[in-house]
Amino acid sequence: MNIYQHFRPEERDFIDQAIGWKEYVEHSYAPKLTDFLDPREQQIVKTIIGSHSEVKWKLFGGNNGAERQRTLIYPEYLEPDTEDFQISLFELVYAKKFISIEHRQVLGSLMSLGLKRGKFGDILLKGDQVQFYAAAEIADYVRMNLESIGRAGISLKEISLLDAIQPEEVWKELSVTASSLRLDTMISALYNISRQKSQLYVQQGAVKVNWTKIENPAFECGEGDIISVRGLGRSKIATIEGKTKKEKWRVIAGRQK
């Protein structure tokens, strides 16, 4: 069976990587810990490893609702726990009275350290409290090199995972039907707008799928995709349940409140 036919052509490199992880665990009988993966990458790993009897997988991103998670792929004899995921949690210390810090500023400053996005998990904000997850193997480097966010001087305090901000983002579950899995059709169904309007959003560069701008209305959506539309918020496709009697796709999704 050709595994690639179930995925997008541009996902091929990641699929090869995931197959490599699975084979490593099978042959070495030792666990493999990935970087933080986005929901679509998590979906691909689950599909490739499946319910294979000798190789198991488990996801954890620092808290139960985390969007970006590390995957531990391991032989069946192992019983993984939280420590095995090697995740550090940092809180920003800064002059809160004078400065407000936004998500995009935190991400921009982390990316300017020259590390891959996969080394960082979710960024958590609540009021003036700002935290982020990082892979433990780069924690010292981040602590030594991250000295400012935007124009604000900051320092970092490493804290227990138990002290993580509980994300304020709430996903509202919805069930929709759509005539196809095309991006414009899905946006139309998820946000309850006309197909014409959804095509316009896509063509104007206002739509991202898994953090990548997509300008092709015919792009095919899949399970695990996070769709964000400028001005309308974010949605995620949890499950594609198959077709109804009227040949429409039934999709279980989440909309961010």
Domain-ending residue, one of 163, 192, 213? 163
Check which CATH number belongs to the domain holding 65 and give it. 3.30.1370.160
Same domain, 252 and 175: yes
Check which CATH number belongs to the domain holding 182 and give it. 3.10.290.10
Same domain, 101 and 146: yes
* CA distances from residue 40 to 43, 68, 97, 236 in whole angstroms, order as listed: 5, 10, 38, 10
Same domain, 175 and 252: yes
Domain-ending residue, one of 68, 84, 100? 84
Domain-ending residue, one of 138, 163, 188? 163
Same domain, 91 and 73: no
Same domain, 196 and 231: yes
Check which CATH number belongs to the domain holding 118 and give it. 3.30.70.330
Same domain, 55 and 91: no
Q: Taking the chain (257 residues) in consecutive chunks of 10 residues, what is each chunk's mean pLDDT?
A: 79 94 94 95 91 86 92 94 97 92 92 96 93 98 95 94 82 92 96 96 94 92 93 92 94 87
Number of independent structural domains in the chain: 3
Write a three-state SS string for the chain. CCHHHHCCHHHHHHHHHHHHHHHHHHHHCCCEEEEEECHHHHHHHHHHHCCCCCEEEEEECCCCCCCCEEEEEEECCCCCCHHHHCEEEEEEECCCCCCCCCHHHHHHHHHCCCCCHHHEEEEEEECCEEEEEEEHHHHHHHHHHCCEECCEECEEEEECHHHCCCCCCCEEEEEEEECCCEHHHHHHHHHCCCHHHHHHHHHCCCEEECCEECCCCCCECCCCCEEEECCCEEEEEEEEEEECCCCCEEEEEEEEC
The structure's pTM equals 0.82
Residue 208, domain extent: 171-256
Here the tokens at position 39 are: 């929901």
Same domain, 124 and 179: no
